[in-house]
Structure 1
Amino acid sequence: MGIHVRSDADIAEVVIDFPPVNALPAQGWLDLAQAISKAGRQNRAVVLAANGRGFCAGVDIKEMQRTPGHQALLGANKGCYEAFAAVYECEVPVIAAVHGFCLGGGVGLVGNADIVIASDDATFGLPEVDRGALGAATHLARLVPQHLMRAMVYTCATVTAQQLHHHGSVLEVVAPERLREAAWAVARQIAGKHPAIIRAAKQALNGIDPVDVKRSYRFEQGFTFELNLTGVSDEARQSFVDGR
């Protein structure tokens, strides 16, 4: 359980492994950020994948509800911010290999990745409104058009890998058993290029990005803190934990 890293031929694979649904605790997000940043410094491409039933179910809401005060909330928000930023600022391209569900913080990771490969069972969504939070609309907006993003935030609806492929944000949709292979194939293509040029390309593409993803996401987080101060967020999270 935790964050696993393996490297081969100048490619690193960073794997999320927090059973049963890859809902990461606060420390897990920080560990993921550190692993991605280190992998980017030492390799030519990074594959971000996950074990288990789905790619990522976001933050560990149960950790928040069993922790007195706001420390778990603060930890999760800091961890998500660091992990999303680590993907975006990774020195080399990050290829996200997504299977099953990709929710909440999972969308934050994938939306900041350079390339997305998805299995044909993958779905993407933000259940934040139902959980008393806001966030990662910044990153969802990098995957779907503006009005669809708004509808997804308000309704908590999900979209499929095939829909994202139609919008151009998923490069390839493959059978689940071929997911890692397909992600590594793209990583090998990138790793075969001149490393200095690829690193410069990553900096250049971030530099011309029309959205400051770190500032935009931080703005969203501010509303989550406001909702928590009113108590409504705690009610929504507890309802989720209780299965209501």
Structure 2
Amino acid sequence: MIESTVDDRGVAEIVMDNPPVNALPVKGWFDLASALHDAGADPAVRAVVLRAGGRGFNAGVDIKELQAATGFAALVGVNKGCAAAFAAVYDCPVPVVAAVQGFCLGGGIGLVGNADVIVASDDATFGLPEVDRGALGAATHLARLVPQHKMRAMMYTSATATAAELHAFGSVLRVVPREELRAAAFAVAHDIAAKDPAVIRAAKESLNGIDPWDPKRSYRFEQGFTFELNLTGVADKVRDDFGR
């Protein structure tokens, strides 16, 4: 589900591959967080490329896992797992380059919004269909990708934005044909890896330190409303209606 390798130039490649749509279960989110932690802890690693196999980058959490579970253990687990994975991207001591193809939804926005650099294929779309799932969250990260009012409209309507739109906003560095995506991401990562590693690690830490808000605290605040919707039964009804 999560594979990690390091090339001879110090670029770690972390690949999510969970067919059919790369919706990750609880374990998948924690495994992804562990892979990112391990990459950042390796002194030989100078940059990370985070990408996915299959049709799309990430479709968020595994809704079927939540529907099949009894009680709230799976809900708590997936929320903790998402928080851990998003934080692992943000806190990774080296820059993380996200390579996004196809759909990037829900939890995918959390990963990409915390990445340092984003390269996308020309068929990539980005969105937060959370209100259709009876949940909230990752508006924190969408607000790092699009302007405030665009983010609000996308949240309320579950609309998506294209890679071209995000490129125009400046959040996506490059838009390329899908067959060129991996090479484009590695070109950026290798450019970073060629710099002095101590300086790059210091730069990552310093840039996190001057962020206008803490995305980890902000996301956990959002998650409180997801728990509320579940405890009141609203989320189950919305998910069941969505599944019909």
State the TM-score, normalizing by the size of structure 1: 0.98
**Partner residue in 2 for 1:175:** 177
Deviation at 1:240, TM superposition (A): 2.5
Matched, 1:15 2:18: no
**Partner residue in 2 for 1:69:** 71
Alpha-carbon distance between aligned partners in 1 of 2:108 and 2:135, rounded to the nearest angstrom: 15
Alpha-carbon distance between aligned partners in 1 of 2:41 and 2:117, rounded to the nearest angstrom: 18
Look up the equivalent residue of 1:105 and give its one-letter code. Answer: G
Unpaired segments ≥5 residues, structure 2 = none
Deviation at 1:211, TM superposition (A): 1.4
Alpha-carbon distance between aligned partners in 2 of 1:16 and 1:113, rounded to the nearest angstrom: 15
Deviations 1:152-178 (A, max 9, x none): 000000000000000000000000000
**Partner residue in 2 for 1:113:** 115
Deviation at 1:237, TM superposition (A): 1.5
Alignment of 1:81-160 (within 5 A): 81-160=83-162
Deviation at 1:118, TM superposition (A): 0.1
SS in 2 for 1:58: coil
Alpha-carbon distance between aligned partners in 1 of 2:67 and 2:242, rounded to the nearest angstrom: 10
**Partner residue in 2 for 1:38:** 38
Matched positions, count: 241
SS in 2 for 1:234: helix
Unpaired segments ≥5 residues, structure 1 = none
Alpha-carbon distance between aligned partners in 2 of 1:38 and 1:6, rounded to the nearest angstrom: 11
SS in 1 for 2:119: strand
Look up the equivalent residue of 1:3 and give its one-letter code. Answer: I
| RMSD (CA atoms) | 0.6
Alpha-carbon distance between aligned partners in 2 of 1:203 and 1:125, rounded to the nearest angstrom: 28
Deviation at 1:236, TM superposition (A): 1.2
**Partner residue in 1 for 2:5:** 6
Alpha-carbon distance between aligned partners in 2 of 1:70 and 1:49, rounded to the nearest angstrom: 30
Runs ≥4 residues deviating over 4 A: none
Deviations 1:83-138 (A, max 9, x none): 00000000100000000000000000000000000000000000000100000000
State the TM-score, normalizing by the size of structure 2: 0.98
SS in 2 for 1:59: coil
Alpha-carbon distance between aligned partners in 1 of 2:184 and 2:95, rounded to the nearest angstrom: 15
Alpha-carbon distance between aligned partners in 2 of 1:74 and 1:229, rounded to the nearest angstrom: 12
